[in-house]
Amino acid sequence: MELVKWPFLKQSWGIEFERSEGAYLYTKDGKKVLDAAGGAIVSNIGYGREEVADAIARAVKNNSYVLPPFLTPEREALLDELREYWLPSHLTRIHLSSGGSEANESGVKLAIQYQASRGQPEKNIILTRSLSYHGTTLNMSGISGHAARKRGLESYVPEPTTIETPYPLRCPLGSHHPEAKNYYLENLRNTIKRIGSNNIAGLLMEPINGSSGGAIYPPDGYWKEAQEILRENDILLIADEVMTGFGRVGEDFASNLYDIEPDILIAGKGMGGGYAAIGGTYSTDRIADSIQAAGYEVMFHTFAALPQSCAASAEVLKILREENLCQKVPSLGEKILDQLNSEIGQHPHVAEIRGKGLLIGIEIVEDKSSLKPFNESKKITSQVMAKGLEKGVFLYPGGTGEYRDIICLGPAFIIGDEEINLMVKALKESIDQAVS
């Protein structure tokens, strides 16, 4: 019998990377591949930084494991870094875990515990969005709007209560309709009315979609007004910034971009830049104090706040700051968007090129005027990825359900013109070949 070595299910790509450095991956046979997706849109400072390796080694020697609730110098350094330089000032409480899914679970638990602590245990529904991804645990699989990632689990996972994800390209009123913002806000209002605000703990949302929609962002002003509606209805805003956080979209957080103040903010990915399995759930004193007063527990994961993960994260965030890498993101993103628009903006199968900072999505369709997607059997996204790899560029698959052909770009913040030219050229040629 054939040994399926890795991963769990047999895959077609059969590629083996020996090492990685900067923005590149190197295969076993010496081929250099530009990582235009920073792994899973994780890598921000690039791969292989010695300072981070040294920080991890120091932490392992000093404190290989200490129970999460105890303070250690490694934890303190990260907490100081976060509070001093990154977190919005109203988010004073920090709960750490080992990744985005866990951090989202913690965020949802805090929201439900908070409502229960105020004597409202029935206020326990977490609204999510029709198109969204919040993680791979059972609960997150269930409440995410990502059809492909819950196949075979539908009978078990919770059915989500959703609002419509603002998707300007595909707004039911018409593509980029001037009334799109009001349409989607009305959907939020009506959903709250239908479910009853007394039954809803919070709205879990990605301010900008990650891979479920490939950098879909809402019409101007949507989030600000949505937050007002939530406040009027005493519903918490829980921002999943696992993909958008820590500079990815050209601001420290996408919430800053939209001038909103989440009650709970979740981060992962860029928080450790790929050097640490770490996620963060950040909340207000009001939420934490209420939970504490009720005597509820906020349990830790065994590997939460591992000293070596904290040390890695603190060092990554310091590098981002000291090398002004986040400040480079908006202009790098603009450059990529400009080049994509000039190279494939008029492409008959490219419906939209969109994004903020270095989170960019390219939506591919069979018919541009009706926005009809290709048949699933054509596997356009997989083909684009495979062609990209042949040309030495790793592109990230996005989209789900009906709209599944979306390519995401999310490179490290250290790329230059050479990398931009390479990724745009590879993307253009790969799309041409995949759709032909």
Ligand X SMILES: Cc1ncc(COP(=O)(O)O)c(C=O)c1O
Helix residue ranges, H only, 9-65: 38-41, 50-62
In this structure, how many other beta carbons lie within 10 angstroms of the beta carbon of residue 371? Answer: 15
Q: In this structure, what token pair is assigned to residue 263?
A: 């009650």
**Residue 268 interacts with ligand X (CB under 6 A): yes or no:** yes
Segment interacting with ligand X (CB under 6 A) among 72-80, 97-105, 314-322, 347-355: 97-105
Task: Report cis status (omega within 30 of 0) of the bond before 7.
Answer: yes
Helix residue ranges, H only, 295-416: 307-322, 325-344, 380-390
Nearer to ligand X among residue 75 and residue 134 (C-beta): 134
**Residue 35 interacts with ligand X (CB under 6 A): yes or no:** no
Going by the DSSP 8-state scheme, the letter that residue 22 receives in this structure is B
Nearer to ligand X among residue 238 and residue 365 (C-beta): 238
Three-state secondary structure call for residue 286: helix
Determine which residue in the list 24, 86, 114, 133 makes contact with ligand X, applying CB under 6 A.
133
Nearer to ligand X among residue 243 and residue 306 (C-beta): 243
Q: What are phi and psi of 373, to 5 degrees?
A: -75, 165
Q: Which of 134, 147, 342 is nearest to 238 (CA)?
A: 134
Nearer to ligand X among residue 101 and residue 430 (C-beta): 101
**Residue 106 interacts with ligand X (CB under 6 A): yes or no:** no
Determine which residue in the list 38, 46, 68, 99 makes contact with ligand X, applying CB under 6 A.
99
**Residue 206 interacts with ligand X (CB under 6 A): yes or no:** yes
What does the CA dihedral 342, 347, 351, 353 come to, rounded to 10 degrees? -20
Q: Are 192 and 198 in contact (CB under 8 A)?
A: no
Segment interacting with ligand X (CB under 6 A) among 66-74, 204-212, 217-225, 352-360: 204-212
Cα 95 to its chain centre, rounded Å, is 18
Minimum distance from CB of 18 to ligand X (Å)?
Answer: 24
Helix residue ranges, H only, 216-273: 222-232, 254-257
**Residue 40 interacts with ligand X (CB under 6 A): yes or no:** yes
**Residue 104 interacts with ligand X (CB under 6 A): yes or no:** yes
Q: How, if at all, do strands 359-364 and 350-356 pair?
A: antiparallel
Binding track over 349-388 against ligand X, x by CB under 6 A: ----------------------------------------
Minimum distance from CB of 216 to ligand X (Å)?
Answer: 12
Residues 222-241 that bind ligand X (CB under 6 A): 240
Task: Report cis status (omega within 30 of 0) of the bond before 88.
Answer: no
**Residue 205 interacts with ligand X (CB under 6 A): yes or no:** no
Compute how many residues bind ligand X; rule: CB under 6 A.
16
**Residue 101 interacts with ligand X (CB under 6 A): yes or no:** yes
Residues binding ligand X (CB under 6 A): 40, 99-101, 104, 133-136, 206, 210-211, 240, 242-243, 268
